[in-house]
Amino acid sequence: MEPQLPHSVTDSVATVVIHHPAKRNAMTAAMWRALPPLLGTLAADPAVRVLVLTGEGGTFCAGADISTLQGSAQEAQGLAVAAEEALAAFPKPTLAAIRGHCVGGGSQLAAACDLRFAEEGALFGVTPAKLGIVYAASSTRRLASLVGPSTTKYLLFSGELIDAERALRTGLVDEVLPEGELGGRVTEFTRILVSRSQLTQAAAKEFADGRTDRDDHWAEQARGSGDRAEGVAAFLERRQPRFTWNVPTSG
């Protein structure tokens, strides 16, 4: 099968798979280009409430497939950054489910997700220093927001790989699961996310990502949504809430 990004939607969860097993799921130029429009389609689908990004088999993503990047290094980096920014801008919760190597462009994509769950044995690295590449400012800032300046410098200065436990300690990942338990935990957690208020999630995502200039917008959304009244009623009636506010398809 050609390198691609197969996807599916089940129970309101969209799953996108990085599929290039011949090269440990390295991203080809075509895959980088395909990701933003695919994310746009899934963001506009009201049936999608959560997005999971994962890799085929036992590897998340080993970075960029250099052999397919025929332009300059700057052009190649531009493709990766555009895909990263599209993933970061996805308006609903995103979760990277990581097994094996998550290196280079793979770490770039994982960092752009809201949450990262990893299996024991996963390895993480940001490796431009091995290639003489200047890591993009936006990507560096995003990494630093997760792990802090010191760990960002450690990763970028050295290009060395770190294990899942160190990634957990530094904030690069949110949970580490024993071998064989990652899939079940991701299913369990995404069901939780699907059951929660999209209004709360969308506002929290904006605020946590640094966009704090839309308090009035979200206050207006809250007043008109009915989610608060439904949440309180469900709590008092001891039942699961049925939230109705959806992320606008226009973004």
Indicate the domain borders of the chain: 7-192, 197-237
Q: Which of 139, 143, 113 is nearest to 51 (CA)?
A: 113
pLDDT digits (tens, 9 = 90+) for 128-171: 999 888 999 999 999 999 999 999 999 999 999 999 999 999 99
Calculate the alpha carbon distances from 241 to 12, 91, 157, 220 in Å: 16, 22, 48, 21
pLDDT digits (tens, 9 = 90+) for 189-203: 999 999 999 999 999
pLDDT (mean) for 224-241: 93
pLDDT (mean) for 234-239: 95
pLDDT digits (tens, 9 = 90+) for 13-28: 999 999 999 999 999 9
- pLDDT of res. 3: 77
- pLDDT of res. 131: 85
- pLDDT of res. 2: 67
**CA dihedral sign of residues 34, 65, 183, 122:** negative
Q: Which of 195, 183, 197 is nearest to 15 (CA)?
A: 183
**CATH code, residues 7-192:** 3.90.226.10
pLDDT digits (tens, 9 = 90+) for 75-109: 778 899 999 999 999 999 999 999 999 999 999 99
- Indicate the pLDDT class of residue 1, thresholds 50, 70 and 90: low
- pLDDT of res. 251: 43
Supply 23's token pair: 């090269």
pLDDT (mean) for 60-86: 82
pLDDT digits (tens, 9 = 90+) for 30-49: 999 999 999 999 999 999 99
Q: Which of 202, 207, 191, 250 is nearest to 225 (CA)?
A: 202
Q: Which of 57, 193, 194, 183 is nearest to 118 (CA)?
A: 183
Do 111 and 53 contact (CB within 8 A), yes or no?
A: no
pLDDT digits (tens, 9 = 90+) for 203-220: 999 999 988 889 999 999
